[in-house]
Amino acid sequence: MNAVLRTHGLGKKYGKRWALRDCTLDIPAGHVVGLVGPNGAGKTTLLTLAAGQMAPSAGGVTVLGEALTGRPAQLARIGFVAQDTPTYAGLSIADHLKLGARLNPAWDAALARERIERLGLDPSRKAGRLSGGQRAQLALTLGIAKRPELLILDEPVASLDPLARREFMQSLMEAAAEQEFSVLLSSHLVSDLERTCDHLIVLVDAQVRVAGDVEDLLAAHHRLTGPRRDPGRLPADQHVVSASHTDRQSTFIVRTSAPIHDPSWSVSQVSLEDLVLAYMDTSAGDRRNGGRPVLEVQR
């Protein structure tokens, strides 16, 4: 399996605080990967490290089969759209495309022009006069026209309205399919990830809580509802991710590869949002793992 991103014990420390720690991942190429977690979880730090924008404090990261060294030829293979979809307010769209051509050796000028035309944007218009959705599309155009093998996007739709968000995500998916590059995308909006991503990473408290193919993760997680029960009484192969109780009833989200035969449980599937929220519930932790983070890597 070719890995587009591989980390081992990766960490970044600012003073005494770890923004990311002990991050071990193995992400296959050719996927759209969703990265999700609460504010301050370490998402931006992981993406910035993966883009070669800063050096780690611990561990290592390999991108596209190479350890990151910051060489221009290496960074040319990686596209990065930062959280504020950076553009230069005083430059026109045409100026941005010229700048992209100067800075990127594999720049596809025809692709950039075609996207701008398809979006109905006037090349002479200054970026500072564009709407938020238009600026995001311009930033995406710059990232795509670089012809990257991996495109990294940090919360690119966070400030957009629903229509602009949908148009942006549609443009991203079309480009990824046409150009066959891998995507690593962070977002707070699980609904967007559910429609676009086939691989998931959940970060909580600067550590990986779960990672894997979305299809495999959903198949391995179940909601159990039944008479109130202590989680310690569940079979050893049912790893409790989250638990809630009323006076008479317990509800668990569990991870297991084995069939659930106990007739006292009502068993139902979980949605991607259910799964994400369960792992983000830091008060729950894994009841069989001392509350420590759990890592489930793809098959």
Looking at 144, 174, 205, the residue that finishes a domain is 205
Q: What is the pLDDT along the chain (299 residues), one digit of tens a residue?
A: 588 999 999 999 999 999 999 999 998 899 999 999 998 899 999 999 999 889 999 999 999 988 888 788 888 899 999 877 779 999 999 999 999 999 999 999 999 999 999 999 999 999 999 998 899 999 999 999 999 999 999 998 887 888 888 899 999 999 999 999 999 999 888 888 888 899 999 999 888 999 999 999 999 999 999 999 999 999 999 999 999 999 999 999 999 999 999 999 999 999 999 999 999 985 554 444 444 344 333 33
**44 in a structural domain:** yes
Taking the C-alpha atoms of 76, 79, 81 and 82 in order, what is their torsion angle to the nearest 10 degrees?
-60
Strand partners, 42: none
Are residues 49 and 176 located together in one domain of the fold?
A: yes
Which parts of the chain fold into alpha helices (H)? Answer: 43-50, 72-75, 93-103, 109-118, 132-145, 162-179, 190-196, 214-220, 272-280
**294 in a structural domain:** no
Q: What's the rounded Cα separation, in Å, for the pair 188 and 247?
A: 33
Q: How many domains does the chain fold into?
A: 2
Rounded to 10°, the helix 162-179/132-145 angle is 10
Q: What's the rounded Cα separation, in Å, for the pair 122 and 130?
A: 10
**73 in a structural domain:** yes
Residue numbers of the domain that contains 55: 3-205
Are residues 116 and 17 located together in one domain of the fold?
A: yes
Q: Kindly report the CATH number assigned to the domain that includes residue 17.
A: 3.40.50.300
